[in-house]
Structure 1
Amino acid sequence: MDFSSLADLLNAKADQYNRPSFIERDPISIPHRFSRKQDIEIMGFWSAMLAWGQRPVILKKSAELVTLMDGAPYDFIRNHEETDLKRFLSFKHRTFNATDALYFLHFFHQYYQQHDSLEEAFLSNPASASAETVESALIGFHDRFCCDPFFPDRTRKHIATPARNSSCKRLLMFLRWMVRRDGQGVDFGVWTRLRPEQLVMPIDVHVNRVARKLGLLTRPQTDWKAAIELTQTLRQFDANDPVRYDFALFGLGVEGEM
Structure 2
Amino acid sequence: MANLSKSKLLQLKPFLDEKVHLYNQFKFIATDPISIPHKFQKKEDIEIVGFLMATIAWGNRKSILKNGEQLCQILQFAPYDFIMNHSQKDLNACLGFVHRTFNADDLKYFMTALKHIYTNYGGLEAVFSKQEEGTLQTSIHKFKRIFFELEHQPRTEKHVSDPYKNSAAKRINMYLRWMVRHDNNGVDFGIWKSLSTSSLSCPLDVHSGRIARELGLLKRTQNDAKAVHELDLNLRILDPKDPVKYDFALFGLGAFESF
What is the TM-score with the length of structure 2 in the denominator? Answer: 0.94
Distance 2:9 2:244 in 1: 18
Match of 1:88 in 2: 94
Aligned partners of 1:135 and 1:105: how far apart in 2? Answer: 23
Structure 2 residue 203 is the aligned partner of structure 1 residue 197: no
1:23 partner SS? helix
Aligned residue type for 1:120: A
Partner of 1:223: 224
Q: Separation in 2 of the partners of 1:147 and 1:84?
A: 22
In structure 1, the residue matched to 2:78 is 72
Equivalent residue number for residue 147 of structure 1? 149
How far apart are the structure 1 equivalents of 2:120 and 2:228? Answer: 33
Q: Distance in 1 between matches of 2:123 and 2:189?
A: 14
1:116 to partner: Cα distance: 4.6
The whole-number CA distance in structure 2 between the counterparts of 1:57 and 1:114 is 34
Q: After superposition, where does 1:56-71 map in structure 2 within 5 Å?
A: 56-71=62-77
**Aligned pairs (5 A) from 1:1-258:** 2-123=8-129, 126=130, 128=131, 131-148=133-150, 150-258=151-259
Output the aligned Cα RMSD.
1.4
Moved over 6 A (4+): none
Q: Deviations over 1:41-65 (max 9, x none)?
A: 0010000010110111111111111
Is the Cα–Cα contact under 8 Å of residues 201 and 228 in structure 1 kept in the other structure? no
Contact 2:114 2:147 survives alignment (8 Å): no
Listed as ranges, the gaps of 5+ residues in structure 1 are none
CA distance in 1, matches of 2:195, 2:155: 29
Residue identity over aligned pairs, in percent, reads: 46
AA in 1 matched with 2:35 = S
Once the two structures are TM-superposed, the CA of residue 257 in structure 1 deviates from its matched residue by 3.5
Of the structure 1 ranges 206-215 and 79-88, higher mean CA displacement relative to structure 2 is found in 79-88
3-state SS of 1:71 partner: coil
Give the distance between the partners of 2:174 and 2:240, measured in 1 at CA.
18
Q: How many pairs were matched up?
A: 253
What residue identity is the alignment partner of 1:141?
A: F
Distance 2:234 2:94 in 1: 43
Instruction: Give the residue type in structure 2 aligned to 1:144.
Output: I
In the TM superposition, what is the alpha-carbon distance from 1:146 to its structure 2 partner? 1.4
Shift of 1:182: 1.5
